[in-house]
Chain A
Amino acid sequence: MTEAEIEDKCITLAEAAKMVNDGDGLFWGGFGYQRAPIAFAHELVRQKKRNLTVYTCGSEVDLEIMAGAGVATRFEIAFSAIEALGLSNNIRRRVSEGKLEVEDYTNLAMAMRFLGGALNVPFMPIRSMMGTDMVNLTRYRGDDKLKVIDCPFTGDKICLVPSLQPDYSIVHVQRVDKLGNAQIDGIVGEDLEGARCGKKLIILAEELIDTAEIKTRPDQTKIPAMYVDHVVILPYVAHPMMCHDYYDYDLEHLMTFHQMTRTEEGWQEYLDNFILGVDDHYGYLNLVGWENLHKLRATKPWGY
């Protein structure tokens, strides 16, 4: 029996971020506090990317970083805040300054736009948003934000949202093999559709495992290798957010982050210290401190 030569998709974080061009659109994975690709946001900032458009349902610290540092100038999202702590201060400021445009959708609408892109159809019908300002008011997408039509079959009103096929999908998972078979534990949020809608898919994973291990639990492979272009292996990709079964959120860091972003000066200090002041993700983790990181490691069977 011949064994196919195994392709190794692993590259560094810096190499992965370098592929993103100014002006590109990114599907951004993770949901709320869970599996946020924070390390990738940091690297986009260090590489001084500009004019990115970010597509996601609800993200928090990562959107704050990209808005605050001027990496992203357009968001098509449903939600941004730091849940339980308060408003997204950087986003609030950048919107008021006119430096960030947010095209508002709902969580289901964004998930359906990713599903439409993944299915390679131009739009998806949904039953949300109708009758509200989410239909009436638009920013840069204008009339292409959505359409409300009479259903050609039933005659009832229905809302159509345009599908998305962004330049890159950025998705953070727990485990991957070097072929790109990616396993997610816990909830998937909108990452199944999101991973499959981008023109290229970059997977960030906490742990590299052998293909033989993937095959012992194929039901956990939520994104098979054929969708995956590049793989980046790093620990604590989501810090200060959480990664199910691997580590908890860092509430102290999160509160410091939220507190510092209350003023532009505070945010600039955070940016200079934690993002621009380090060479790479390991530099950031060294700054946070391995003793602190170790305390965040998940306890079985709770997963946090």
Chain B
Amino acid sequence: MVEYTKIEFLIACASSHVKDGEMVFGGTGMPLLAALLAKETHAPKSNLISEAGFIDARPREVPLSVADTRYYYGCSASIGLIETLGFLLQAGRIDVGFLGAAQIDEYGNLNTSYIGPYDAPKVKLPGSGGGNDIASSAKRLIIMMSHDKRKFLTKLDYMTSPGFLDGPGAREKWSLVGGGPEIVITDMCQMDFDPDTKKIRLKSVHPGFTVQDIQDNVMFNLIIPEDVPTTEEPTQEQIDIMHKLDPNGIYLGKGG
């Protein structure tokens, strides 16, 4: 049996959603490692892009910032923000983007801006950055979040980035370029979206968790299909490659 940490599991899981030949907005952290892992395994022709301007990146060390020079070495082009978020993303040329969030609702809308009321916020979060741009215009979105009941809400404190907004037809009404969220990966499960109602639905449960665990840890009615498989575990090869990509454990953790 392969032994793995939670972070390794999530990275391998996220990586499986990147297809070969795709244009991917990677960012930093776990999404970056997931995109790099995909490139080293099943998706060698995928093209990793950082919104700061790096195109077709294959860094030799993991960057801490989307603008980190570590992204430069090995990339095919180094341009700027209008290039990546404008000419590539808004023009509909990006297949998949990764996003995280502090809160998500049942339509996959995301909050990365404020906790508490807008007029007197308890916590000012980082804001959209390129998140809303990516959620608006990437063909598919992969969302990665830590699973905490208080983060899975019916009403967000602030809607920073669009999922399916208020349901079927809403993205079309606002002429959004991209297709919206495809999958939500947490440390307990994977969720996707019902094609008819655009509402979030359980897709698979990670080893060690039950369907009941998931239902107990969301604050909305999660659609539960009849058949809920167990999420596939990472292979030893995937774990080894991850540690070659991040030998100092910047994102994998020292003990990893």
Contact = CB atoms under 8 A, between A and B. Distances in A.
Contacts of A123: none
A58 B243 CA distance: 30
A212 to B, nearest CB: 26
B82 A115 contact: yes
Contacts of A187: 52-54, 67, 72, 78-80
Given A127-B176, A130-B176, A108 B78 contact: no
A293 interface: no
Interface string A263-304: 000000000000000000000000000000000001001111
Interface in A120-176: 126-134, 137, 156-158
A104 interface: yes
Contacts of B159: 132-134
B20 interface: no
A200 B143 CA distance: 41
B234 interface: no
Interface residues of B, number: 59
Nearest to A138: B118
A27 interface: no
B35 interface: no
Contacts of B129: 57-58, 78-79, 106-107
A106 B66 CA distance: 15
B124 A32 contact: no
A224 B204 CA distance: 55
Interface string B161-184: 110010000110111110000000
Interface residues of A, number: 62
B69 A132 contact: no
Given A32-B66, A34-B65, A186-B78, A104 B175 contact: no
Given A78-B129, A134-B132, A244 B69 contact: yes
Given A87-B123, A302-B69, A130 B136 contact: yes
A189 B90 contact: no
Contacts of B70: 302, 304
B69 A303 contact: yes
A77 interface: yes
B175 A127 contact: yes
Given A106-B129, A130-B176, A137-B158, A111 B81 contact: yes
B81 A189 contact: yes
A108 B173 CA distance: 21
B176 A108 contact: no
Contacts of B136: 127-130
Given A84-B28, A106-B132, A189-B81, A157 B175 contact: yes
Interface in B31-78: 51-54, 60, 64-70, 72-73, 78
Interface stretch (A47-55, A89-97, A229-237): A89-97
A193 B127 contact: no
B247 interface: no
Interface in B121-135: 121-133
Contacts of B90: 108, 126-128
B190 interface: no
A84 to B, nearest CB: 4
Given A106-B132, A108-B89, A108-B133, A84 B173 contact: no
B79 A188 contact: yes
A40 interface: no
Interface of A: 30-34, 57-58, 77-81, 83-84, 87-88, 91-92, 95-96, 102, 104-109, 111-112, 115, 126-134, 137, 156-158, 186-193, 242, 244-245, 248-249, 251, 298, 301-304
**Pairs of residues from A and B, 8 with the lowest C-beta to C-beta distance, nearest first:** A32-B67, A187-B53, A79-B129, A33-B65, A34-B67, A188-B80, A81-B126, A32-B65
